[in-house]
Structure 1
Amino acid sequence: MTSGLPVSRHDMVPSEESTTAWALAAGGGDPEAFEHLVRALHRDVVRYVAHLSADPQAADDLAQETFLRALGSLHRFEGRSSARTWLLSIARRAVIDSFRHAAARPRFGDTMDWQVAIELAQPRNTPGFDDGIALLDLLETLPDDRREAFVHTQMLGLSYAEAAEISGCPIGTIRSRVARARTTLLGLLSEAELPAA
């Protein structure tokens, strides 16, 4: 049933049209189309929720929750936005709900120094790990709205229109937030490169 659906030719990366067509077909009851949709967008969703939640260990669970919510909402998807934008909006709500849920329940630890335990549990000496930590540290200095706009457009490759739709604000606001985020990050990088006096 999905054999006639479009796929881009660039390294077999599905186009926005393909993923949207799969979402529409899945909403019409085609399970194979939903499988294509999940395969095409799984990596983007995992990266997005890992960034928003700041918890790479929870990313798979949050991605699964996103796709479960999407599966339950497919019948309402009309293709007014791309499937990717629609899915990342669902992912954003899943992360927000996970924060609310975590804030509502008490946490107990079996170690006195939980910060040291967390640091020791982090992976080390993997390619790009230190650069990734440095980038996360720099991004953490940005206000939430600027960080979100920067991640959407510069790291996930969303258009300004898609980022605006996900964030629920005008495109001009997204452009402004990204520009301010870039200025701040460039300033921080310049400071970091200055020799110690």
Structure 2
Amino acid sequence: MRSDDRTVTAWALAARGGDPAAVERFVRATRADVRRFVAHLTGEPQAADDLTQDTYLRALRSLPRFEGRSSARTWLLAIARRTVVDRYRLAACRRKLLDTDDWQSAAEKVQPGGLPGFEEGIALGELLDALPAERRDAFVLTTLVGLPYEEVAQLTGCLVGTVRSRVSRARGALIRQLGDAEHAARVPVGRAA
């Protein structure tokens, strides 16, 4: 069950004061959102656990400076975004020893594909990847992570109306893409619509 933002923020403020039980409740209440968000940003679910842990290490070190002016969830997702950006910057500076495509394709070949939801998850990821980044981020944060439009606006630095517009346009594009894919699946091979 998802905790409301006031409760999560209260836990963060109590954790800031040194309450270990509040720290645990804060982490439990936000962990799934942070993991889902970093997995979306990177497109690498296998890196999400490490990035989630790095996010919490940074957040817990910064907790004494958290003043509660925004919700703790928004504050935490901003830290998660910076953690991902820093990871990309660090990776860009390092020499690559092995081509990513080689190990990634090998890992994908050994993963089971018949699990429930596996193919749908891949299809959704492909559909989301086709969206412009601003629309995709707004859609993921509101629909998949479940943040209110106001928090997404604060997190992304734009107006609430802009977030609403981006989410609406993303939904429209996803619906059109799904309709096109279903239509293409119904048309027999060799016939054009």
Does TM-score exceed 0.5, indicating one fold? yes
Runs of 4+ in structure 1 off by over 3 angstroms are: 110-116
Match of 1:126 in 2: 115
Structure 1 pair 114–15 and aligned structure 2 pair: CA distance change class (3 A)? closer
Residue 95 of structure 1: CA displacement? 0.9
CA distance in 1, matches of 2:160, 2:101: 47
Residue 121 of structure 1: CA displacement? 4.1
CA distance in 2, matches of 1:122, 1:171: 40
Q: Normalising to structure 1: TM-score of the pair? A: 0.87
- Structure 2 stretches lacking a partner, 5+ long: none
User: Residue deviations 1:74-114, cap 9 Å, x none?
Assistant: 11111111111111111111111111111221222279945
2:6 aligned with 1:55: no
Q: Normalising to structure 2: TM-score of the pair? A: 0.89
Three-state SS of the structure 2 residue aligned to 1:157 is coil
Between the two structures, name the one with larger relative contact order (CA 8 Å, sep ≥ 6): 2
Match of 2:144 in 1: 155
Match of 2:133 in 1: 144
Hey, which of these two has a bigger chunk of helix by percent?
2
CA distance in 2, matches of 1:155, 1:111: 28
Measured on the aligned residues, the alpha-carbon RMSD in Å equals: 1.8
AA of the residue aligned to 1:191? D
Percent identity between the two aligned chains:
58
CA distance in 2, matches of 1:110, 1:20: 43
- Structure 1 stretches lacking a partner, 5+ long: 1-10
Structure 1 pair 44–111 and aligned structure 2 pair: CA distance change class (3 A)? closer
AA of the residue aligned to 1:61? D
Number of aligned positions between the proteins: 186
CA distance in 2, matches of 1:140, 1:26: 37
